[in-house]
Chains A and B, each alone.
Chain A
Amino acid sequence: MNESRERGALLAADDAERLLSGQAPGGADDELAGLVRLLVAAGEPLPCRAEDELAVLDAFRQVSAAGRPGDARRRGAAPLLAPQRSRRQVKALVGGVAAAFTLSGVAIAAQTGALPHPFHSGGTPHRRPAPPVTVSDTAPGANRPAGTAGPAAGSPAGRNPAAPTHPAHPTHPVTGSHADTDNHGLCESYTQAAKQGHQASVSIRLRLSQAAGGEAKVDSYCAAVIGAGTPTNGAGPKPKSTPTSTPTTTPSPSGSPSPAATTAPTPTAPTATHHTAAAHASASPSPSTSPAASSTGPHRH
């Protein structure tokens, strides 16, 4: 570590590509540990301002009210200001007030430890330091099923608040090492994502493949970690996370979601085939399917 050689020189292109897509090169821990740590930290969602969300939702309501399909959507025009206060808007206003109450309710719940703090990530220091609440991720049943369109229910609890990072989970009844405790939640995310036919975030995959000693070992690693974390007892790699799951479904570590995984009985996967226009948009830069182009041009020039 004290040598002043430039490790960057050792970063091979395929290692770089692997890192960028969320895999930690298995055998290269020493060389790349710092970089992996940096990328993991960078990949954590940042806490967000609640008022921003309310403002955007409000704008959304106004736009919706002003630009209903029947009213001829005005291209180019920015219908941010609704011409009159329609019933719809009044309803929206009521909804906004309700949402505000929900927000504060959740905040209170979080303060009292009933929920993970919505604006605080477990271990990483953040711009807006939250009160010293210990994140008590209580019982599995306490939170809504991961599959549901959680946040859509109007509760901000499900939002990003980042990171069950390292020191975050005091309530885990895990008897294993500290690292395994930390990675328990990550493993659950990982297997959950796999079951839903998509990948866990880059951050998760990087951390897990590092902990497991390689991408290929993540499955068995997580099976073991999740098994050890089962509250009932530590016997065997038994899935604890969800009622309907087996954690060993193919997690499609790096590539695209494997079709096998999408067959998992998750409540939210229904749209796996719903990729209407797109799937392609991501794959092909063809101008015909370029929503970015058509959508951003007008107001930017």
Chain B
Amino acid sequence: MGRAVVRRHGRMSDGELGDAVERARDGDEAAFAAVYREVHPRLVGYLYGLVGDDADDVTSEAWHDIVRDLHRFRGDGEAFRGWAATVARHRALDHLRRIKVRPRTTALDEITAEPATPGDSEGLALENISTEQALALIGELPQEQAEAVLLRVVLGLNAPMAARVLGKRPGAVRTAAHRGLKRLSERIGTQPGQFGPGRQDRQTGGGHGGQGGPDGRGGQGDVDG
């Protein structure tokens, strides 16, 4: 059984992925398929944190951009992950602009709806947390923090590459990621009953969340230019 697990969990090395990308660039479809299967699930996860249930559609759009521009890409596996994330991010931000408002996920509702057993209710809820719920929780952070966390944890990018995707300085992205974790820790570390306030807090601090669109685009300038 082990192999299947390895395949599912393991991550292609940068070298492997870079090699596959290069072959894909030369028209090798099998290599491209390997690249897709390696990167796509992580891209979907990243975008799920940004656009919720539309992630599949938006990621799909992004792949068409990737296919179109692949011949111009140069770099190894990590660089490809970063590039793919950048392309997907553009698509996601476009999407968010189109729909004008960040989706309200229900992750927190679902989690807090778990029956509360004194003592370990939080543990129970988190024990069964689904990937979608986890991503949605992260996605409810201020966008800057959410993206920093998602790029590191979901896409597995290193800090400098995450910074490049976001078009920001590595230090700023590191700080954002740390703040994001801190905030997550505060919210899940307290009793379930405190999810509510935590969320309100975020909404009243909506300046954060609202900065998503414009601020995100601003950040893009660095990547684009």
A285 to B184, CA, bound (A): 29
B interface, size bucket: 35 or more
Flag whether A293 is at the interface (Cβ < 8 A). Answer: yes
Given contacts A20-B177, A34-B123, A241-B6, contact A49 B69 (CB under 8 A): no
Give A295 to B21 CA distance when docked, in angstroms: 14
Residues of B within 8 A of A164 (CB): 5, 8-9
Instruction: Flag if A203 contacts B9 (CB, 8 Å).
Output: yes
Are B122's CB and A34's CB within 8 A? yes
Please state if A145 and B160 are interface contacts (CB–CB under 8 Å).
no
Considering the chains assembled together, what is the distance between the CA atoms of A277 and B87 in angstroms?
20
B172 part of interface (Cβ distance < 8 Å): no
**Shortest Cβ distance from A6 into B: residue:** B186
Instruction: Give per-residue flags for A15-42: 1 if the beta carbon is below 8 A from chain B beta carbons, else 0.
Output: 0110111100000000111110111011
SS class, residues of chain B in contact with chain A: helix
Q: Does A180 contact B (CB under 8 A)?
A: no
Instruction: Report A11 CB to chain B, min CB distance, Å.
Output: 5
Q: Is the beta-carbon distance between B181 and A16 smaller than 8 angstroms? A: yes
**Are A67 and B71 in touch, CB under 8 angstroms?**
yes
Q: Cβ of A37 and Cβ of B129 under 8 Å apart?
A: yes
Q: Which of B18, B120, B160 has the most CB of A within 10 A?
A: B18
Given contacts A188-B2, A282-B161, contact A295 B16 (CB under 8 A): no
- A163 touching B8, Cβ below 8 Å: yes
A56 near B64 with CB under 8 A, answer yes
CB-nearest residue of chain A to B78 = A282
B68 touches A7 (CB 8 A): no
Let me know if B74 and A291 touch, CB within 8 A. yes
B61-99 at interface with A (beta carbon < 8 Å)? 63-65, 67-80, 82-83, 86-87, 90
Across the interface, which residues of A come within 8 angstroms of B73, CB to CB? 291, 295
Q: Is the CB of A35 within 8 A of B29?
A: no
Contact indicator A45/B177 (Cβ below 8 Å): no
Q: Give the distance to chain B from A112, nearest Cβ to Cβ, in Å.
A: 15
Bin the interface of chain A by size.
35 or more
B48 touches A277 (CB 8 A): no
The CA-CA distance from A125 to B29 in the complex, in Å, is 32
Complex CA–CA separation, A299 to B70 (angstroms): 13
Per the bound structure, the CA–CA distance linking A275 and B127 in Å amounts to 39
Given contacts A39-B153, A126-B132, 17 further A-B contacts (CB under 8 A): A16-B178, A16-B181, A35-B181, A126-B131, A137-B2, A137-B5, A143-B1, A159-B37, A193-B6, A198-B14, A201-B11, A272-B15, A274-B18, A276-B76, A277-B75, A292-B223, A296-B69
List the interface of chain A (C-beta within 8 A of B): 1-2, 4-11, 13, 16-17, 19-22, 31-35, 37-39, 41-49, 52-53, 55-57, 59-61, 63-64, 67-69, 73, 75, 78-80, 92, 95, 115-116, 121, 124-127, 137-140, 142-146, 149-154, 156-164, 169, 171-172, 184-186, 188-189, 192-193, 196-204, 240-242, 257, 268-279, 281-285, 289-301
3 closest A-B pairs by CB: A137-B1, A278-B76, A8-B186
A-B contact pairs, 23 of them (CB 8 A): A10-B185, A11-B178, A11-B181, A20-B153, A39-B153, A42-B131, A44-B131, A48-B44, A53-B36, A56-B64, A116-B1, A125-B130, A146-B6, A159-B8, A188-B5, A196-B16, A199-B11, A203-B9, A242-B3, A277-B74, A278-B18, A278-B74, A278-B79
